[in-house]
Chain A
């Protein structure tokens, strides 16, 4: 019977691999996700039939506890997943990731308690147990801090203090020492709990100095961590499904993390240790310089510009997400299209709070994904664009990234909206973006600012465009 279960675990692993493969195209991605879920269900069902190889008894018991956990987890999981706004997706993923990390850490802890109690253990088990406890706990507490930052339960700005790196390094060294002690020395529950506490502290301290704008990278990195930790737990339990599933996620999470860093033209070290956006030095002086030359238009005046336009590129940012403006944006785009205007969307890789965040929101509004263009595709087209409509985006269209070496976003590829004939910027006010820096785009002679809530502004723009 256990051989059959091994086969089931292998089938699960194949499902996961094929699922990730199907995620390569929007056409098949949904099927991919369902396949992964089916694979997961198979592994769970198979696990119920595990038997102890020596005694032949069922491995699983405590069914009433398990049933309770499953019912509660499923109800809460479905409820929160159905209820969450698309805008809040990054923090939802962070939360689920944290729970996964917490589960890994707890499994490692219980395994240590049980094996320790029985007195037999080998080196590999000991090493993988402490490592999965360590990484799982970091992922748990780190993800919760990331969640709190994105949910604005705490400040999104980096929290730094004197000697921060030294404290973190000491803590890390302490954890390593504890892990060696636990592997080499006799079993000790207090030591395990100390390691758990220290690892949780590392997770918190590691995420605190990272700014809200970089949270997606952190979540992706912690996602990779949880994957690795789950894979290590696979070593502990000798379980193929865990080994392969964990390994896959560990690797893919890392790739995704590096891709995101590349999109921002920054190294992973810079994201993690750079305390990006902490010191908007000199920002106040430029802010006052900005005031004078901004051209603020009413919605009606701005709408008239569309009358003579043949091509419009819409550049959405987090402001669109916050205002839930994606549906009115789509309505405006439809009206412009009906007037014979060519409408495209330009999506910056890190627009919003997560890579691909804008794509999800526009998809929610039924915008077909073949109207969305990424940075490399759209940038050469801006020269021939009549109107670039920037909705709640800021840092990703800041021309300073191209030449101002003092700017924190220097070198980040940006959308070249300033090259369009007219730039219309919809924004709540002149406040700087998430990275905490001013934007000279708003000063340019071809830029028109329309201030107000994105949803109301676009809705008015849309009805004004209708009557052109």
Chain B
């Protein structure tokens, strides 16, 4: 990829981020923070690449640590967000009231 294309992608992503978030209601700020937190766990892709290409022990160890961190970030982030959002419900109609586990 040419440098300018890479910069363009990044800048556009920033603007999309600004645009898409501006409308989120306060109610959802905590889950949103948690979800974006999980999304930056996409660094996992990066840590997989460096770990996968590691040739010596130091990089192997560091890469493994980075991957563990990133997996925790991704998995923990999404699970915790899902747990929060699962609880957001409308006023239940008497007919469709479902039991909560």
Does A pair with B?
yes
When the two chains form their complex, are residues A80 and B76 in contact, meaning their CB atoms are under 8 A apart?
yes
Other-chain contact of A349, B26, B37, B81 (Cβ < 8 Å): B26
Using CB atoms, name the residue of chain B closest to A28.
B85
A102 pairs with B17, CB closer than 8 A: no
B82 to chain A, nearest CB (A): 6
**CA of A74 to CA of B30, assembled, Å:** 22
Tell me which residues across on chain A come within 8 A of B44, comparing CB atoms. Answer: 40, 44, 103
Q: Are the CB atoms of A245 and B18 closer together than 8 Å?
A: no
Cβ-closest chain A residue relative to B20: A20
For B48, list chain A residues within 8 Å (CB): 44, 47-48, 60, 66
Question: Are B52 and A59 touching (Cβ within 8 A)?
Answer: yes
Among A92-100, A205-213, A389-397, A426-434, the one that faces the other chain is A92-100
Evaluate whether A110 and B63 lie within 8 angstroms (CB atoms) in the complex, with A100-B69, A246-B42, A252-B17 already known.
Answer: yes
Check if A93 sits within 8 Å of B33, measured CB to CB: yes
Contact indicator A60/B27 (Cβ below 8 Å): no
Interface residue SS majority, chain B? helix
- Of all chain A residues, which has the CB nearest B44? A44
Q: Chain B: which residue is nearest A43 at the CB level?
A: B45
A355-B29 contact given A81-B83, A243-B6, CB 8 Å threshold: yes
The reply to whether A61 and B66 form a contact with Cβ atoms under 8 Å apart is no
B79 touches A78 (CB 8 A): yes
Contact between chains at B32 and A40 (CB < 8 Å): no
The complex places the Cα of A81 from the Cα of B73 at a distance, in Å, of 10
Interface residues of A in 219-234 (CB under 8 A from B): 219-220, 223, 226-227, 229-231, 233-234
How many chain B residues touch A (CB < 8 A): the figure is: 84
Contact across chains for B74 and A77 when beta carbons are under 8 A apart: yes
Instruction: Flag if A78 contacts B49 (CB, 8 Å).
Output: no
The answer, among B26, B49, B52, B72, for a CB contact under 8 Å with A76, is B72
Q: How far is the CB of B99 from chain A (nearest CB, A)?
A: 11
* Of the residues A66, A223, A371, contact of B33 by C-beta under 8 Å: A223
A69-B51, A100-B40 given; A106·B45 CB < 8 A: no
Query: In the bound complex, do residue B43 and residue A230 qualify as a contact, i.e. CB atoms below 8 Å apart?
Result: yes
* Contact call A251/B15, Cβ cutoff below 8 A: yes
- Asked whether, in the complex, the Cβ of B88 is within 8 Å of the Cβ of A235, the reply is no
Digit string of B54-90 for contact with A (CB within 8 Å is 1, else 0)?
1100111011111111111111111111111111111
CA distance A103 to B49 in the complex (A): 12
A368 near B27 with CB under 8 A, answer no
B91 near A100 with CB under 8 A, answer: no
Residues of B within 8 A of A162 (CB): none
Question: Which of A84, A111, A246 lies at the interface centre, i.e. has the most chain B CB atoms within 10 A of its CB?
Answer: A246
A29 touches B33 (CB 8 A): no
Chain A residues in 8 Å Cβ range of B68: 69, 72-73
Contact in complex: B69, A248 (CB < 8 Å): no
B54 CB contacts on chain A under 8 angstroms: 61-62, 65, 110, 114
A360 touching B21 in the complex, CB below 8 Å, given contacts A78-B75, A100-B40, A231-B10: no
Closest to B67 in A: A69
Given contacts A230-B42, A360-B31, 16 further A-B contacts (CB under 8 A): A20-B20, A26-B27, A30-B85, A44-B45, A47-B49, A92-B80, A103-B70, A231-B13, A234-B10, A234-B46, A249-B39, A355-B29, A356-B31, A360-B84, A371-B91, A374-B27
Q: List 19 A-B contacts (CB under 8 A).
A: A24-B23, A30-B86, A37-B82, A40-B41, A47-B45, A65-B51, A66-B67, A80-B72, A80-B76, A96-B41, A97-B37, A99-B70, A106-B62, A110-B54, A223-B40, A230-B46, A242-B45, A251-B15, A252-B32
The 5 closest A-B pairs by CB, nearest first: A73-B71, A251-B17, A247-B13, A60-B52, A77-B75
